[in-house]
């Protein structure tokens, strides 16, 4: 991202996040503003494009740590469980980022209008590839600026989002985005399986069940799943359950009920897995997160 884009986007994200919080009234847009480093938080993130314009953060994707600082962009072509941790943020210079969910229907429509012969990447989670130059940065800025004019949002927001998507397709991210609509591609097959897991994670799930969803043999599915998501299918399923459990416990503190609701038969096993992933037992982790959210708001 250019210095000019950062200088334009930082005050826009800061202002709109203070006004609307993390979810402004534009579908698919998320903003992050934090005034202090915080504990690791987990989410199941949809295919998306994200820009960090101030501060820094780390993300855990499978077993790999990705680091982002001001000016870096990333794009994800598949739903993945992500753990993130803001590492640099102060009241004077808060952490600021913009995220836009990438819709399959828009990708399909735009790809049908042009011939984009881009090779498929090995990794659907791409960093340092997005050309966040002036024209793309200007489109993001215009999307944020129309939040100052609520009457314009219903008409203009879909058009500007479409422009952002189109500009992404013209550059290196096009290879990632085409995976959203290529049913025969291995990544798309794995995406179908992860989508099914997301909807059914609390039920008993076997590897043959998942291989069937992807229309693959069990050995082929296991190999391709780990190549795409960075973890094994069972690790992915465990992360789905634990990330949702963390969200539920933060809201209700009902640990035993939550463990069973997300698919665990053993509370002791749930507590062990939870501590291994998040570093603390559920009660202490929830207390730490609430305290951090109060300090960093």
pLDDT in tens, 81-129: 777 889 999 999 999 999 998 876 676 677 666 654 444 444 555 544 4
Banded pLDDT at 56 (limits 50, 70, 90): very high
Question: Do both 19 and 162 map to the same domain?
Answer: yes
b (16+ CB within 10 A) / e for 157-179: beebbebbbbbbbebebbbbbbb
Question: Do both 146 and 83 map to the same domain?
Answer: yes
More confident residue, 227 or 138: 138
| DSSP assignment of 152-172 | GHHHHHHHHHHHHHHHHHHST
Q: What CATH number corresponds to the domain at position 73?
A: 2.60.120.280
Task: Classify 48 as helix, strand or coil.
Answer: strand
Task: Classify 185 as helix, strand or coil.
Answer: coil
In this prediction, residue 271 carries a pLDDT of 94
Write down which residue in 180, 202, 219 finishes a domain. 180
Question: Do both 156 and 248 map to the same domain?
Answer: no
Write down which residue in 114, 147, 180 finishes a domain. 180
Domain that holds residue 16: 3-180
Model pLDDT for residues 231-269, shown as the tens digit of each residue: 889 988 998 899 889 888 888 778 999 999 999 999 999
pTM: 0.70
């Amino acid at each position: 991202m250019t210095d000019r884009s950062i200088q334009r986007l930082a005050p826009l994200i800061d202002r709109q996040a203070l006004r609307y919080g993390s979810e402004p009234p534009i579908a698919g847009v998320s903003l992050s503003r934090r005034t202090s480093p915080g504990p690791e938080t987990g989410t199941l993130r949809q295919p998306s494009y994200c820009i960090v314009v101030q501060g820094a953060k780390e993300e855990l994707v499978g077993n790999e740590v990705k680091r982002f600082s001001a000016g870096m962009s990333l794009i994800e072509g598949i739903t993945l469980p992500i753990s993130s941790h803001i590492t640099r943020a102060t009241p004077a210079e808060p952490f600021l980022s913009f995220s836009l969910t990438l819709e399959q229907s828009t990708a399909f429509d735009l790809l049908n209008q042009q011939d984009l012969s881009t090779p498929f990447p090995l990794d659907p989670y791409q960093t340092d590839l997005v050309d966040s130059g002036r024209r793309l940065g200007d489109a993001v800025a215009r999307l944020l600026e129309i939040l100052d004019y609520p009457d314009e949002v219903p008409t203009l927001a879909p058009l500007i989002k479409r422009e952002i998507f189109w500009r992404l397709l013209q550059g290196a991210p096009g290879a990632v985005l085409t995976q959203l609509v290529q049913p025969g591609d291995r990544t798309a097959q794995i995406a179908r399986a992860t989508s099914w897991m997301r909807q059914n994670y609390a039920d008993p799930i076997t590897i043959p069940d998942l291989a069937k969803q992807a229309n693959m043999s069990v050995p082929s599915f296991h190999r391709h799943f780990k190549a795409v998501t960075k973890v094994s299918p069972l690790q992915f399923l465990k992360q789905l359950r634990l990330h949702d459990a963390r969200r539920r416990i933060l809201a209700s503190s009902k640990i035993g009920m939550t463990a069973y609701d997300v698919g665990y038969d053993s509370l002791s096993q749930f507590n062990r897995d939870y501590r291994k992933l998040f570093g603390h037992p559920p009660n202490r982790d929830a207390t730490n997160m609430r305290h951090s959210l109060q300090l960093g708001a």
